[in-house]
Every structure is written in structure tokens, then in C-alpha cells.
Homo-oligomer: A and B are copies of this chain.
Amino acid sequence: MVSERPRPMAPSRRNKIPVAVLGATGMVGQRLALLLSDHPWFELVELTASTRSAGHRYADVVPWRLERPLPGAIGALTVRETSVADVRAPLVFSALDASVAREIERPLAAAGHLVVSNASAHRMDDDVPLVVPEVNPDHLGLLGAQQRGGDGGLVTNPNCSTIGLVLGLAPLHRAAGVRRVVLSTLQAASGAGYPGVSSIDLVDNVVPGIPGEEEKIEAEPRKIFGSLDDSGAGGVIEAGIEVSSHTHRVPVIDGHLMAISVETDEGLSVARATELMASFRGEPQERGLPSAPSSLIEVVSAPDRPQPRLDRDAGGGMSVTVGRLRPCPVLGLRFELLSHNTWRGAAGGTVLIAETLVARGCLP
């Protein structure tokens, strides 16, 4: 990854920012722990989980299920309770379930922490930015109103499917205006956490209708592609994009695949769409952030790609891969898109937001 612009806020090795991970024993918490065990700017110093796990060594309570081993130094950390009193780090990553997130994320922000959350609890709140750093980093401006003079704040990372979808649509939307989208997802088991989906349901089987997922995929892009309300009222004016999603769980460990048909205001040839996607980059690429993939959208030409097992790790799991770009006889354009649901779609996306905040000088 090459960036010509200087990294304005790169903390030095000596002076890493201490960070906490809330809900560290789940699948997303595990990815966050792995990612932060070796981050150039952040130092993972606190892990929290439920009361049952608190007080134990992380290695002793986490059902580690990642393909790489648990780093020893992280495993040795003592798990804390998920409470305002137990968290000290100025920068907090939340991988909590929505119900727990709803209770603690606002109080943590009020107590001065900058909380970057993967939970769905507050994503659609008026004063909370819902951010994909390459797409709508300007929404981080909502933090100002939210903080009202204090230091803390709450920023949210979208649903794992939304992120891939929005990254694929963004270059088309900017150039031609996305109006309507019909998509089907083939989503990995890790998206349901651990233990999540029973093996009985995913051997010789796929399952349609992931609970709560379609609503998020259809609502979140409207906010992400929306514009900041500069009338003084605050909040985001949602974009008029109509999305219809069909969701499915498939026997794949990691990587959400989506079959997407798109209608745009202005016509887009396959060649133009390919060019727009392949050249798309955003603030993270401009700033050369540590987690930003240099090639954001990998456009591939093989007729049977992208595939989850072969393509999910593109760009260290932070790129999305697009294939089968071709005309759609109904909506105009169609393609397949793959993104790693626990890297780009969760842990990595959350960390990239934090890196953007640091680079923008938003951290106290």
C-alpha cells in the first residue's frame, strides 16, 4: 500500500493508544483481539465479557475458533466485567450483543470514552454516525453535536452485509445515482457468532431468512448514503435508495457473498462500472491508514468468482471482491460481491473507523 500523503497522526510505537474490547469472547471479539494484538497505533490493554468470564484469563474462557492461534500476550489478559467502572481505556471497541450494547455504550461515551461499536443498538440513532470510512467519513462530524463539549462519543460500524453492499454500490452511486437494488446474500456461519447456527442446520442444507438481517441491509444504506442535515437540526437526511434483500445462511466459515442487481439514475455500461469500481478509493486510502487496503475493490474476470474460500482474504480481508459484472435485463447492472464478514464486515471495519478518527484528530 503506497500513500503519497503523510500520515498526520500516526502514533509512535512508544506511544500507542490504549484500547479496550468489549464482548471479547465472541467471534467478532476474537477477530478484534487478533487484529489489535499487532496494531501499529493501538495497544490492547482491556478485554471485557460477561460476569461469568470476568476475573479469568482470556485464554481460559474464550472459545477461540479462528484459523490463527490466540496470541499469548492477549490470552494472558484478565477478563473484566462489561461495566463503565471497569473500563479505563480512552478508545473502546464494542463487539457486544445489541441488548448489552444498548445499556452500556451511551454511558461509556458520556463518561468520556470514544466508543466504536459493531453492535446494531444505536446505528440508526439520529446523532450517531454510521460509517464506512471510504464512503461517508464526513458523517463523523455528527460526533461534535453528540459530544456537546465532552470528549467521549459513539460511532457505529454497519451490519456485516451492509458494509460489503455499500462499498460495491458507492462508486456506482457517485457516478450514476443508485435508485433500486435487489440482492440475495449467501452468508457465512461466523456471522451468527459461536455457537451460532447448529451443524444440523448446515450439513446438506442452507437456511433462508436470517433474523433481523434484511431490515438492516435495507435501512442502513439509506443512512450511509445520506447527507448531513446542515439545517441545524442535526442528523442525516436519508438517501432515496430502495433495497430488497433475500438472506441465506450457507455452510461457509467466513465470507459473505451477494448477488446484486442495481438500477441507476443514469445508464452505466459494464466497462464503465468496472472502471469505477476498480479505481474506487476513499479517505483511508488517501491517508494511508494501517488497515486500509490499497486495492479497495478487486474486480475479477473469472466467470465463477468471487468465491468465499478463495477470495475472502483479499487485501488482508479488508478488500471486497467483485465479479460477474454484466447487464441485468431487469434492473440494468448485476454482479457478485464478496466481503469478509468478520474482517471488513466487523472487526476490521471497526478498527478502520478508529484509525480514521485518530487521523482526523478526534481522539482526546
Q: How far is it, in angstroms, between the C-alpha of A318 and the C-alpha of B200 when the chains are bound? A: 22
B336-A203 in contact (CB<8A):
no
A330 contacts B194, C-beta separation under 8 Å? no
Closest residue to A335 on the B side, CB-wise? B246
B324 touching A208, Cβ below 8 Å: yes
* Bound Cα distance A182, B200 (Å): 29
Given known A-B contacts A203-B253, A206-B257, A182 and B330 have beta carbons under 8 A apart? yes
CA distance A329 to B179 in the complex (A): 12
For A, the interface residue count at a CB cutoff of 8 angstroms equals 62
1/0 contact string of A288-328 vs chain B (CB within 8 Å): 00000000000000011111111001100000000110001
A305 near B208: Cβ-Cβ < 8 Å: yes
A252 partner, pick from B206, B252, B261, B309, beta carbons under 8 A = B206
Number of copies: 4
Pair B329/A243 contact, Cβ less than 8 Å: yes
Given A250-B186, A336-B246 in contact, is the A257-B208 Cβ separation under 8 Å?
yes
Choose among A181, A190, A198, A306 the residue with the greatest number of B CB atoms under 10 Å from its CB.
Answer: A198
A27, A207, A208 pick with most chain B CB within 10 angstroms: A208
Say if the beta carbon of A65 comes within 8 Å of chain B.
yes
A204 touches B201 (CB 8 A): no
Q: List 12 A-B contacts (CB under 8 A).
A: A27-B200, A182-B261, A186-B206, A186-B250, A189-B200, A205-B310, A208-B323, A209-B304, A209-B324, A244-B261, A246-B324, A330-B331
